[in-house]
Structure 1
């Protein structure tokens, strides 16, 4: 049996769209749309399609959600937030390739940690095959949630995207961190990854990429610390030249922002 993201998280992810997932999508996606202006969006691990429904309201003309078996109660399209013909059932534990189809933006949010470690490289390959721009979020070790099989710190995923020529664009977290409407897992873990071709053709995206480094990749959101969880595990040791900063809790993102304006250097 395949497991969808909705099954792994239960009612947390497949809740009424008025709850947290939609509120979070409504705060995050406008930032991405303002930057990238995508007309087509694919969501690998879409759950009920909440994020894609928001993408459609923001102007995406084409959306496609891909996930495993529908969550309990979803049936054959019932309970989806997108039209059934915009939903494709696939086992996310195996390669997901759509020959000849590319999208302006790919989403993969809260999915990677539920898949076996052996799937990590091919998951990144799937996403890179789908789009030159990926909005990606994955749980870190010890983060609250069900059925986590491969919780990893962001450098683990960054390195896999880099091997395929994608650059981490960390322009979202400083804008999301202090927003109480955004679920802390997203404020902590949301990154963009852009292909070299996409960066070369988009000055605004290159400008956003220049923001990378304003926050440590291993920062833990205090909102997650308040939830029942195993203790957050430290990052897996890496060679000195690749070693990330230790995990830390940051009370606010503003404390880590570089000054802007005249005299900021």
Structure 2
């Protein structure tokens, strides 16, 4: 909250990277508000019941939170790529208007893709009411349906590819280009760049792997994995803070 207020009030911080960082902070508050209240309630309660509307709301909040993280990190990687690889063109390319466009795309793409995917799930008649999960997830809910879910499967795969894998590959590609550019500079510049980039790459890979494990875990049938391991893997990307 302090970072958000500082960037908002201090005009000297109205720079692309600070704006993107404040967007990540806002998203962290959004994700925490959508996950932890229910999670803490389930910990202290003996009854783990959730209504159908609240379950779908939780799915939407958690999925958009994770997708926002990746889309914002993608535009942050693009910003760093321009700043390091094309420094003379940085101010002409990263204008305030272009930053606004990037932020709007990063926000509204998950809204529409995940919203459409969830719409397909909401309209399904459910024949079961038990989820073997710590929180509501889209595919386990789809599996409770007793009608054909081919369209849901296709839509889900599309969202996974476009909202998860493409941003991950883009971020890794930009960092690879940055490291290649740094390798041709002086040893002092290379050392500073590696000191800045490597921790970010490691934390980004950790977050991406935990997110990939959650996506894979949601596709497994109950009983295929040890319950304790399943809980740890499913909560990892929600508890491990993403890179900033």
TM-score relative to the length of structure 1: 0.23
Higher strand share: 1
Larger RCO, structure (CA 8 Å, separation 6 or more): 2
Q: TM-score, normalising length from structure 2?
A: 0.25
**Normalized per residue, which structure has more helix?**
2
- Bigger-Rg structure (1/2): 2
